[in-house]
Chains A and B, each alone.
Chain A
Amino acid sequence: MISLIFSSIEFLLWFLPVFLIAYGITPCKYRNLTLLAGSMIFYAMGDAGNLPLLMLSILCNYFVGIHLTKRSPKTLWRKRLLLLLALGINLGVLLWFKDWSGAEVLPLGISFYTFQILSYLIDVYRGEVSREYSFPKFATYVIMFPKLISGPITRYGEVADSLTDRSFTVQGLEDGMKLFILGLAAKVLLADRVGILWHEVQVTGFESISTPLAWLAAIAYSMKIYFDFWGYSLMAMGLGRMLGIELPANFRRPYMARSVRDFYRRWHMTLGQWFCRYVYIPLGGSRCGEFRTIFNLLVVWMLTAFWHGASWNFFCWGGLLWICIVLERQLGRLKFVHKMKVLPHIYLWLIIPMSWMCFAITDLTQLQVYLDKMLWLVPGISGGYEDAGKALGTYGGLLIVSGLACTPAIEKLYHKWQDKLPVKVLLAVLFWYCVWKLQLEGNNPFMYFSF
């Protein structure tokens, strides 16, 4: 099966140019149709079997959306019933695939498109956006390929205007492509390579590694998951900008945060905003007393955990973060806490890698072993730290570069220099370098390892 992820030769050298040409020669009026058709092909190449499911879902929700606008108090209960029914069915399908179907692979992008459809329905019901009468427009909103597979989770209101009227210009193409290349480089040159350390530690087995190596590998995983996801989001944003659609940002230098609370306002922002908007605030948010707030947070975090997968380790992850956030709320009452500059960073850099391990290791006994290692409860197989030294020798440079890329420095430099010729040349060369790397190693560098 040809899987069309952005960082693949298939997408970069074939799908994207062909699509852009087709999109460019389509008259403005019909560009939504081209985008719709292109996105359907994009989806079909990844998961043809579930395309009918997606299209059916779009069609049904399109009709539901049309009937959801509040008009008079008389028909309000009918709308409410319809909304509840629609939410139930949409969530039911998602839940069924996540938990009960026993399928190993979910339908492509189902978590993302379901959430976007839900946000549309609720917003229409609340009267925050007006219903969409045009089926192609609605379908394009749900299925547009830049955000189809892994977000950003975009509310209808955020792109409604650009669905009606958007421009396709050389400048837009250039700006979008530059963002795309940055994202591609983050994925191919940082995430995929730093991820190898984490892979190696898994091959060695957690029982045998030393505590320093456990931390190094956890940091490597933290970098890998960030550059993977941030890179993907940048690519999505870049693609959107190329087509004239402004997609919301998903990350804002999360590792520069100073508390877990702050971290998750910067990490996968669109998911956090979704839960905030449609779960946390309706539950009362932080307006109904401390106890209620803590409870609301628990609900949100358990749902977030479940959204990532119906596996116990995700609940450990969500639970740990919930505890941290609750404690931070209490500590936040103390004045001197806000004056500290360095300590909060260190606290975050200790807690987040641990939380990522809960996220990454699905087997609970293995997770236990790993956390024991991180907390220095059991020594490594040889008792020494040579393994960490060796890993540092191989991956030290890469970890430092990754660390630097987490700071605002590179972003600032880019904004200052993005229109200068050297940066343009650099980015152009970077693109082809990534293509070469991809050809060499494949999309998943572990798959093509030699033994």
Chain B
Amino acid sequence: MNQAENKNIWSKMKEKLHKYSFWGCFLLAGIVFFTWTDNWQMYTEPLQEAYTEGVQLADSLTEGKWLQLPEGQSDGTGSGYAPGEMMTAEDTGISGMTQTSSEDTVQSSAAGEEAGMSGAAADAQTPDPAAPDASEETPQEVVYHTVDDSYFDDAVFIGDSRTVGMYEYGGLEETSTFYASTGLTIYKMFDSAIVSVPGQKKKITVEEALSEKQFARIYLMIGINEMGTGTVESFMKAYSEAVQHLRELQPDAVIYLQAIMKVTTERSEQGDYINNEGIEARNAEIAKLADDQKIFFLDVNPEICDETGGMVASYTYDGVHLKAQYIPIWLDYLKAHAVE
């Protein structure tokens, strides 16, 4: 009797256990997940967004705009995150954008144009972004030569996914050196382990690679991934330091600083951190780093942009990367702008 009762209780418990086992596992896994995840606060973001949206909606309703959602949502004004790595692309993008668009854009369009057309007639002695106006000194025309592919035999191309595109479809992958990787930024450029060495499984960093081998010329195009974080100033600080470090590592090399390729106007107007105003502002500052002795500024943008000031729409699918068949435009531009 007693035994039967016990058995009954036991089977009932088993039944209950079976019934709730899935949800038990589910909650347990959830607890483990939130305990081990880096930043669980991120998951509350939708709530904050909903709250901001609600407030804005309420505001617009009291102003009598029925059912018209507030336009300024993408400002991201609601989410109170401090700048840092853990922010979403959207959040970070906005902070970068608002800061660039204030003053830099105004001066950039003029400066960028001048730099682009006259081939970087910036001040020669002081490669410092905060240097006084370049027009005080007599600008010297840089004389460019046209070269063929062999010019790049002792060149190294450093950059992000755009340079990867050049590597894959430029036809130089056998002869030239590429230290390029998708998502590469100026901040982590030297420390990125992206260079594979023959006969070695582990990749070495750009720093190590550049210390081991000397190149005659260095082509650098970098800067679009950085637009999500920081300002033009913080970017340029890192950029000029990187150029100085390049100079230290490769004292004899000619350094070509390439202007960041612009995106299509459509992509630029999409409203996130990628926009042509920001790119122009950065390009104008990069141009000032050229001393026209050993450091030169090259801007391929006039070759690939239309009258709207953005990349020609048919040259690209995503608005950011040149299609493989248009990579030669870029390469030809580089070939037509060699200094020795």
A positions within 8 Å CB-CB of B: 1-2, 9-10, 13-14, 48-49, 52, 170-171, 173-174, 177-178, 199, 202-205, 207-209, 381-382, 387, 421, 424-425, 427-429, 431-432, 435-436, 439, 442, 446-451
Residue of A nearest to B89 (CB): A448
Given A205-B317, A448-B89, A451-B320, the answer on whether A432 and B30 have CB atoms closer than 8 Å is yes
- Give chain A residues whose Cβ lies under 8 Å from the Cβ of B21: 421, 424
Q: In the complex the two chains form, what is the Cα distance from A31 to B47 in whole Å?
A: 25
Residues of B within 8 A of A9 (CB): 43, 45-46
Question: Which of A2, A207, A387 meets B50, CB within 8 Å?
Answer: A2
B257, chain A: closest CB distance, angstroms = 18
Q: Contact at B325–A451, with CB atoms within 8 Å?
A: no
Contact partners of B160 in chain A: CB under 8 A: 450-451
Q: In chain A, what residue has the closest Cβ to B160?
A: A451
Check B317 against A202 for contact (C-beta < 8 Å): yes
B324 interface neighbour in A13, A173, A207, Cβ under 8 Å: A207
Size of the chain B interface, CB-CB below 8 angstroms: 47
A259 and B55 CA atoms in complex are apart in Å by 55
Q: Is residue B13 within 8 Å, beta carbon to beta carbon, of the partner chain?
A: no
Residue of B19, B50, B169, B323 near A170 (CB, 8 A) is: B19
Report B's interface with A, CB cutoff 8 A.
19-23, 25-26, 28-30, 32-33, 37, 42-43, 45-47, 49-50, 53, 67-69, 73, 88-89, 160-162, 165, 168-169, 171, 182-183, 224-225, 316-318, 320-321, 323-326
- With A205-B323, A208-B323, A451-B161 as known contacts, state yes or no: A177 contacts B22, CB within 8 Å: yes
Q: How far is the CA of A381 from the CA of B29 in the complex (A)?
A: 49
Q: Which residues of B contact A177 (CB under 8 A)?
A: 22, 26
Taking CB atoms, residues of chain A closer than 8 Å to B316 are: 203
Please report the C-alpha to C-alpha distance between residue A432 and residue B22 in the assembled complex, in whole angstroms: 14
Cα–Cα, bound, A333→B261 (Å):
60
Nearest chain B residue, comparing its CB with the CB of A421 = B21
Given contacts A428-B25, A428-B28, A435-B33, contact A450 B161 (CB under 8 A): yes
A residues less than 8 Å from B68 (CB atoms): 49
Given contacts A170-B19, A429-B29, A432-B33, contact A451 B53 (CB under 8 A): no
Report the Cα distance A450→B192, complex, angstroms. Answer: 15
| A174-B23, A204-B169, A205-B317 known; A431-B47 Cβ under 8 A | no
Give the residues in chain B near A2, CB-CB below 8 Å: 46, 49-50, 53
Task: Return chain B residues, CB-CB under 8 Å to A387.
Answer: 168
Residues A171 and B25 in contact in the complex (CB < 8 Å), given A202-B318, A203-B318, A451-B224? no
Q: Which residues of B contact A14 (CB under 8 A)?
A: 46-47, 50
Contacts of A207 in B (CB 8 A): 323-325
A381 pairs with B169, CB closer than 8 A:
yes
Extra A-B contacts (12), CB below 8 Å, given A202-B318, A431-B29: A9-B43, A13-B46, A49-B67, A52-B67, A202-B317, A208-B169, A381-B324, A382-B169, A387-B168, A429-B29, A448-B89, A451-B160
Q: Quote the shortest CB–CB distance from A273 to chain B (angstroms).
A: 32
**Cβ-defined contact, A451 with B182, below 8 A:** yes
Q: Are B29 and A432 in contact (CB under 8 A)?
A: yes
A450 — which chain B residues lie within 8 A by C-beta? 160-161, 182-183, 225
CA of A13 to CA of B224 in the docked complex: distance in angstroms?
33
- A214→B169 CA distance, assembly (Å): 16
Enumerate chain A residues within 8 angstroms of B171, measured Cβ to Cβ.
382
Find out whether the CB atom of B325 lies under 8 angstroms from the CB atom of A208. yes
Q: Please, which residues of chain B bring their CB within 8 A of the CB of A429?
A: 29
Give the distance to chain A from B112, nearest Cβ to Cβ, in Å: 20
